[in-house]
Structure 1
Amino acid sequence: MAASTDPRVLVINSGSSSLKFQLLAPADGTVEATGIVERVGQGQGNAAIEAGERESSFEGPVPDHKEAMKIVERLFGEVGLSLSDDRIRAVGHRVVQGGARYSNPVLIDEQVRWDIHDLGKLAPLHNYAAVDGIDGAQALLPDVPHVAVFDTAFFTALPEAAANYALNREIAKQYRVRRYGAHGTSHQFVSQAVSSHLASQGRDVSDLRQVVMHLGNGASASAVRGGEAVETSMGLTPLEGLVMGTRTGDIDPTIYIHLHRQAGFGPEEIDDILNKRSGMMGMCGMNDFRDITAAVEAGDEAATLAMDVYVHRLRKYLGSYSFVLGSLDVIAFTAGIGENVPMVREKLLTGLERFGIELDLEANAARSKEMRVISTPESEVTVMIVPTDEELSIARQASEVARQLAG
């Protein structure tokens, strides 16, 4: 059968205590299997896989990512698949931090592995886990190209004015302090999807000016002109920028010092407060927007204030990025909140008609998993919802590297 020879890519996303995986066809995005191993390195773990109508699960110790990959191999066998399948032409690894060096996907060799580990100084929760996942996957698939796809790659070409902080120049250089961004794989995928969609309708997209809003539990915005990122909201780390599920986003840096001096909090506790105990969770005790919107509709004061703070920050970024771009053609929403919470989009865009933004309220409220326009025909700025697919983007980039290697 033709399907049996279609190339597949195994996509691995190693988190600090998890390993997500997906087997898919880069040509058309068909997903053959998807799953996750959770609580890696935390004693008793669990894992699950779905492959069409077939499912399997696991409970037991998962001491590290190498063992997690062995569990993935076992789960594949239990649903009738195999990691030895010769259709698997590449393994794509999501790596959060690629520094200023890696602007494209690369074949993982010893130097690349060392660099990813070294860049763990900038992303300790992510890059060290990525190296562990790479080691585990290479042990099981030693004869398949393993490719690193960096979440920061899309933002390595930011203009210097956007990439640099007004920090002492020597200190910034010595400690590699600059804006690296995050969610780049998603921002690139969405901005390219928007351009392709509008080009198919006859629009000139050579200088298309977009603001992409990736709104999930982690959230970021980017300004994209002619396919190139010119600004992004996350900085040295994912803490900067928009209000998020548990992160503060932009905050006065001296608050760190204030909390240390006045409350006696140490660096680790302050880091925990800003990254895990703030944002929407810190303001209203919830970070699931289904609960938050229900609470807002019920008149809950804390939830209403949290929503107002969240939307206010979005407006600040939308306005500033419009000026950075010089004009605005498209606003694209993606990720869990961006795609599925009409209230956020409505609160953000209502009242901006004088800026050429007219939201179609009926289209905005409609439920769909498809890419779609939710602005009125009269709107000068096109507003779109574009479902992101980071795994497909990683698979396609990894597949291209493998194809080039094969000649």
Structure 2
Amino acid sequence: MPEETVAASGLVERIGLEGSLLHYKAGETKLTKEIDIPNHETGLKQITQFLMDKEVGVVEDEKHIQVVGHRVVHGGKSFSKTVEVTEDVKAKIRNLFPLAPLHNPHNLRGIEVAESVFPEAKQVVVFDTAYFQTMPQKAYQYAIPKKFLEDHDVRAYGFHGTSHKYVSEKAIEYLNEKGLPSEKIISVHLGNGCSITAIKNGKAIDHSLGMGPANGLIMGTRAGDIDQSVIFYLIDKLGYTAEEVNNILLKESGMLGLTGYSDMRDIEERSAEGDENCRLALYINGYKIKKYIGSYIAAMNGVDAVIFTAGIGENSSVIRKIALEDMEYLGLHLDHRKNDVRGKTIRPINSPDAEKQILIVPTNEELEIAKQSYALVN
């Protein structure tokens, strides 16, 4: 930094699943290793070993790392901007565990591991929730007694903000260069976690995730939107505890609950082979995305561009096709040939004569975190 030159990059995937993989790239070196990675701590330690490896590493020792940037999912109302890690910051992240039980504990553990591996580096936290501070009260307040908002901060906060911020800014820049309207953007982030954001004049005005990162779109293991009556039925009639129901909705539902698989690649492969559960699950998933796109077009009185991003959003032509089916009346005309072509750069997948733009915008949360971390310490 500030040249934004990538010295090394990589990915740990299928954490806690059979066949965990670590991908590493530095210069001409490209490696993929199948390593047993039962949890995030093991994954981070494996990454640091690669970074400091004598043959393929990019730093001689831990002292050469000056700043470590961390993504933390939930900042509540305590954090509206990027901050340097202190004991107080860590305590507040810990206090928010109940609101993001799948994320904040791992995020904090990542900070603690990084502190031990890079003891002389500054640790910086970028919060997913900070981007959504611009949402109006009509979008973030729930229709429950007002005392819960005033006394206990019960409200929608929003997540995947680092990604939505990065891709929307890239999309606006792209549209402006083409002389196309860019006032009203819908950003669809589809990964193991999924969310959709309505962005007007560069500011988030509505978002699918809420007080915790569990509702909205269907996700890998999370149910997304669900009638609260189901929760009370499971507890009162079927005898589940509240903790068991919470575990079901967060870790056993979503695409896993519908198909037995949480990885979209596995689901699409089995759907193509004739698995009816997997085929139906893809349509249920895409249908929910379509409903949110329609509601956000209504909220903004139109749309200039719909963005697809993150692992599934960038790579699954199947989900994009289902989500945009029969949307021509809103000006969204998908070019199926373009939709089937993979790429690593921002690109349109709408038909040439379409009124509205449909874009695939590769996200780069790491770069966004690096930019914000660099700006803070300088």
TM superposition score category, shorter chain reference = 0.7 to 0.9
Task: Pick the structure with more strand per residue.
Answer: 1
Q: 1:180 corresponds to which residue?
A: 157
Aligned equivalent of 2:278: 303
AA of the residue aligned to 1:336: G
Shift in alpha-carbon separation, 1:51–1:121, aligned structure 2, 3 A? same
Deviation of 1:220 after TM superposition, in Å, equals 0.7
Query: What amino acid maps onto 2:97 in structure 1?
Result: G
The structural deviation recorded for 1:167 is 1.5
Contact preservation (8 Å) 2:23, 2:30 = no
Q: Matches of 1:216 and 1:296 in 2, distance apart? A: 18
Question: Does residue 76 of structure 1 match 2:54?
Answer: no
Structure 2 residue aligned with 1:19: none
Q: Establish whether residue 284 from structure 1 lines up as the match of residue 259 from structure 2.
A: yes
Question: 2: distance between equivalents of 1:391 and 1:115?
Answer: 23
Q: Quick check: 2:128–2:162 contact (8 Å CA) kept in 1?
A: yes
Paired residues of 2:287 and 2:322 also in contact (CA < 8 A): no
Structure 2 residues without counterparts, runs of 5 or longer: none
Aligned with 1:364 (options 336, 339, 348): 339
Give distance in 1, aligned partners of 2:360 and 2:107: 30
Q: Is 1:122 matched with 2:122? A: no
Alignment of 1:48-59 (within 5 A): 50-52=25-27, 53=29
C-alpha change, 1:143 and 1:197, in structure 2 (3 Å) is same
Distance apart, 1:204 and its partner CA: 5.3
Aligned position for 2:6: 30
Q: 1:235 and 2:210 equivalent?
A: yes
Instruction: State the distance in 1 between where 2:100 and 2:49 align.
Output: 30
Deviations 1:43-67 (A, max 9, x none): xx997855442759798999995x8
Could you tell me how far 1:248 is from its partner in structure 2? 1.2
Shift of 1:364: 0.9
Post-superposition offset of 1:196: 1.1
Kept after mapping to 2: 8 A contact 1:49/1:56: yes
- Matched residue, 1:132: 109
Task: Report deviation, 1:156.
Answer: 2.1
Distance in 2 between residues matched to 1:62 and 1:286, nearest whole Å = 18
- Paired position in structure 1 for 2:145: 168
Query: Which residue number in structure 1 is paired with residue 118 of structure 2?
Result: 141
Whether contact under 8 Å (1:73, 1:82) holds in the other structure is no
CA–CA distance in 2 between the matches of 1:63 and 1:235? Answer: 26
Any conservation in 1 of the 2:191–2:313 contact (CA below 8 Å)? Answer: yes
Within a 5 Å distance, the mapping from 1:169-248 to structure 2 comes to 169-203=146-180, 205=182, 208-248=183-223
Cα distance in 1 for partners of 2:255, 2:35 equals 32
In the alignment, what sits opposite 1:264? 239
Partner of 2:225: 250
Q: Per-residue deviation at 1:300? A: 3.3
2:74–2:93 CA contact under 8 A, matched in 1: yes
For 1:48 and 1:331, the matched residues in 2 are separated by 30
The 1:157–1:101 alpha-carbon spacing in structure 2 relative to 1, beyond 3 Å, is farther
> Which residue does the alignment assign to 1:22?
none
Tell me the amino acid that sits aligned with residue 83 of structure 2. V
Is the 2:157–2:209 contact (alpha carbons within 8 Å) kept by the matching residues of 1? Answer: yes
- The corresponding residue for 1:16 is none
Quote the Cα distance in structure 1 between the aligned partners of 2:151 and 2:43: 36
The aligned residue for residue 110 of structure 1 is 87
For residues 133 and 290 of structure 1, do their structure 2 counterparts lie closer, same or farther at Cα, with a shift above 3 Å needed?
Answer: closer
Q: Unpaired segments of 5 or more residues in structure 1?
A: 1-6, 8-25
State the partner residue of 2:289: 314
1:285-337, CA deviations, whole angstroms, 9 ceiling, x for partnerless residues? Answer: 23333333344444433223212211221111011000111110000001121
CA contact (8 A) 1:215 1:338 kept: yes
Q: 1:351 to 1:82 in 2, by over 3 A?
A: same
Contact kept in structure 2, 1:83 and 1:141, CA below 8 Å? no
Change (3 A) 1:60 1:375: closer
Are the aligned partners of 1:73 and 1:83 in contact in 2 as well (CA < 8 Å)? no
**Distance change (3 Å), C-alpha of 1:234 and 1:83:** farther
How far apart in 2 are the matches of 1:70 and 1:312?
Answer: 39
1:99 lines up with 2:80 in the alignment? no
| d(CA) in 1 for partners of 2:307, 2:113 | 37
Check whether the contact 1:96–1:182 (CA below 8 A) recurs between aligned residues.
Answer: yes
Q: What is the CA distance between 1:142 and its match in structure 2?
A: 3.8
Q: Given residue 365 of structure 1, which amino acid in structure 2 is its aligned partner?
A: D
8 Å contact kept, 1:35–1:50:
no
Q: What percentage of residue pairs aligned between the two structures are identical?
A: 36
**What whole-Å deviation, never above 9, does each CA across 1:60-116 have from its counterpart, x for those lacking one?**
999995x87666554433244437467634210111111123222112233323322
Q: Cα distance, 1:234 vs. partner?
A: 0.7
For 1:263, what is the secondary structure of its paired residue? coil
| Distance in 2 separating the partners of 1:138 and 1:254 | 44
- The amino acid across from 1:176 in the alignment is D
Q: Tell me, yes or no, if the aligned pair for 1:98 and 1:150 is still in contact at 8 Å.
A: yes
Instruction: Report the Cα distance in structure 1 between the residues aligned to 2:177 and 2:305, rounded to whole angstroms.
Output: 15
Q: Is the partner of 2:308 in helix, strand or coil?
A: strand
Size of the aligned set, in residue pairs, is 373
Q: Structure 1 pair 390/98, CA: closer, same or farther in 2 (3 Å)?
A: same
User: What amino acid is the match of 2:294?
Assistant: G
